[in-house]
Amino acid sequence: MAEDRIREIKIEKIEKLREQGLQPYPERWQRSHTLEQAAVLEEGVTGVRICGRIVSRRDFGKLSFFDLQDLNGRVQCSVQRDDLGKESYAAFSKLVDIGDFVGVEGEMYRTRVGQLTVRASSWQILGKTLRPMPEKFHAISDREILYRRRYLDLISSPESRQRFRLRRDFISALRKGLDEAGFDEVETPVLQTKPSGALATPFETHHASLDMPVYLRIAPETYLKRCVVAGFDRVYEFARVFRNEGMDPSHLQDFTMLEYYAAYWNYVDNMDFTEELLKRVIEKCTGSLQVPHSAGEIDFSGPWPRLTLTELIEQYASINILEHTDAGQLRAALDKAGIEIDDADKLGRGALIDLLYKKTVRPRITQPTFVTSHPVDLSPLARRNDDNSQISDRFQLVIHGWEVLNAYSELVDPIDQRARLEEQAQLNAEGDDEAMVMDEDYLLAMEHGMPPISGWGMGIDRMVALLSGAENLRDVVLFPLLKPEEGSSVDDAIREMGEEAPAIEGADA
């Protein structure tokens, strides 16, 4: 049956509900239990009031079984003509469809096959659907529809619901772990006058009231550090950040980052805390430190290796980056090694090293690994190492070829910071869009004094994707950004799904 005709029939049912004094969109429903709670009730419990979306239905003359579902639970219910009365049962049978939201009140019992069920003594429509659900609630196979119509994906796919519950639990456990370690959660500006805190291309917009350009933040870093100047000892933020860069399965232009800073730590203290925190959180959320993944099991049990960036590049690219002290020397070494980097002639030494590492090293790292001791010109906000001024006290955690967090012993020397920002600003002026710009306001804050600090930023989306086995970050983001639909291709595909599954409506329509 065509979707347009199905919609017409459902609108007719809405009118029939109203004619019978039944409100198809009531203002509220008082429930006694969530579906998750009801699923573990004992047989014989009375006065149970539950609600949810009907996702399956089986009719047997004077008896109907149906399942109610929400994000966290699913419960079978039954309605019988002898319990409801002829008129109420007829209204349910003829006017309630799969996909509708319904509330029921009744008693817990077990069917002949032992299925725990709510035997309804009354029911109420709570929200009438106008469109058919996809393919008898089978998971949506078209990925574009899955991302555009995430609500249908969550209705139909237990795996998708589990991924987003894992995301919720992961963030909750991280927040609890940081709070217990003495961190304070804060909020910092999304609109900023300077795009600082990372090497990335910003999104620019215009502030109408102030008549000036502003940027969506690429990181909350410099404002969180202002908090440390203000006296916060340990501080963190779950921040939505925006980077106007390329898109692939491991990169999105807007994503969620957890960033924290701890006064009086160095990067080694931070590494120790990071491994302990993440192991505890991962085990709590997944039940194990061995997490299945399509590329092979990820073993978080540790200890996690700690390897320098210099030795990894030398191992996989046969180039000792410390021997090439400027961009020209490094370009020559890349040419000699036959390694091509796009737009290499426009990039500074730091950006060249970063791209060399991403091309030759990172894809080969599968198990949790700390990559340490990055060159200073790749780390404009990190502290120089006391023993080797060419490298910074920095580490990244890399898993399955993905960088999931980036950490420093932070640069707190305002004179050194000014010199590095001047160098970055010059690179930006010469065409390196990812180089940082000058930020006098942040330097002013630094000049009021900072203690030793170490901190990091972690991509929540990447970490959840790794833990859930997803290969694309869009699979763990509820509503990823997509191009506007052209024509009606998506609507046509959804309509076809409805036509392929007439049993969805069956007697309902």
Rounded distance between C-alpha atoms, residue 307 and residue 321, angstroms: 15
Report phi then psi at 453, rounded to 5.
Answer: -140, 145
Query: What pLDDT score does 294 carry?
Result: 82
For the record, the structure tokens of 485 come out as 């639909």
Peptide bond into 303 cis (omega under 30): yes
Asked whether residue 25 is assigned to any structural domain, the reply reads yes
| Residue 386, burial from CB neighbour count under 10 angstroms (0-12, 13-18, 19+) | exposed
Asked whether residue 43 is assigned to any structural domain, the reply reads yes
Comparing CA positions, the residue from 51, 54, 120 lying closest to residue 82 is 120
Asked whether residue 255 is assigned to any structural domain, the reply reads no
3-state secondary structure of 265: coil
Query: What pLDDT score does 138 carry?
Result: 55
Rounded distance between C-alpha atoms, residue 195 and residue 214, angstroms: 8
Rounded distance between C-alpha atoms, residue 30 and residue 212, angstroms: 50
| Reduced 3-state DSSP string for 299-342 | ECCCCCCEEEHHHHHHHHHCCCHHHCCCHHHHHHHHHHHCCCCC
Cα 60–Cα 64–Cα 68 angle in degrees, nearest 5: 145
| Residue 283, burial from CB neighbour count under 10 angstroms (0-12, 13-18, 19+) | middle
Query: What pLDDT score does 80 carry?
Result: 97
Max Cα-Cα span within the chain: 88
Kindly list the distances between the CA atom of residue 333 and the CA atoms of 314, 320, 353, in Å, as whole numbers in the listed order. Answer: 12, 9, 11
**Which residue bears the tokens 């039940």?**
287
Query: What pLDDT score does 35 carry?
Result: 97
3-state secondary structure of 401: coil
Q: Which domain holds residue 10?
A: 3-131
Pairing status of strand 453-459 against strand 116-127 = unpaired
Query: What pLDDT score does 139 carry?
Result: 55
Comparing CA positions, the residue from 124, 49, 56 lying closest to residue 88 is 124
CATH assignment of the domain containing 106: 2.40.50.140
Is residue 467 within 8 Å of 424, Cβ to Cβ? Answer: no
Query: What pLDDT score does 355 carry?
Result: 93
Asked whether residue 396 is assigned to any structural domain, the reply reads no
Residue 298 C-alpha from the chain's centroid:
19
User: Domains in the chain: how many in total?
Assistant: 1
Is residue 266 within 8 Å of 409, Cβ to Cβ? Answer: yes
pLDDT tens for the chain, 509 residues long, are 788 899 999 999 999 999 999 999 999 999 999 999 999 999 999 999 999 999 999 999 999 999 999 999 999 999 999 999 999 999 999 999 999 999 999 999 999 999 999 999 999 999 999 998 876 545 566 788 889 999 999 998 999 999 999 999 999 999 999 999 999 999 999 999 988 877 788 999 999 999 999 999 999 999 999 999 999 999 999 999 999 988 888 889 999 999 999 999 999 999 999 999 999 999 999 999 999 988 789 999 989 999 999 999 999 999 999 899 899 999 999 999 999 999 888 888 888 999 999 999 999 999 999 999 998 877 777 888 999 988 999 999 999 999 999 999 998 999 998 998 898 888 888 887 777 788 899 999 999 999 999 999 999 999 999 999 998 999 999 999 988 876 544 444 444 444 333 232 222 22
> Which residues have CB under 8 Å from 237's CB, separation 6+?
185, 186, 187, 188, 220, 224, 258, 259, 260
Comparing CA positions, the residue from 370, 171, 369, 404 lying closest to residue 281 is 171
Asked whether residue 74 is assigned to any structural domain, the reply reads yes
Asked whether residue 89 is assigned to any structural domain, the reply reads yes
Comparing CA positions, the residue from 167, 131, 109 lying closest to residue 5 is 131
Cα-Cα-Cα-Cα dihedral of 304, 306, 309, 312, to 10°?
-70
Asked whether residue 18 is assigned to any structural domain, the reply reads yes
Is residue 150 within 8 Å of 479, Cβ to Cβ? Answer: yes
Rounded distance between C-alpha atoms, residue 25 and residue 11, angstroms: 13
Asked whether residue 157 is assigned to any structural domain, the reply reads no
Query: What pLDDT score does 136 carry?
Result: 52
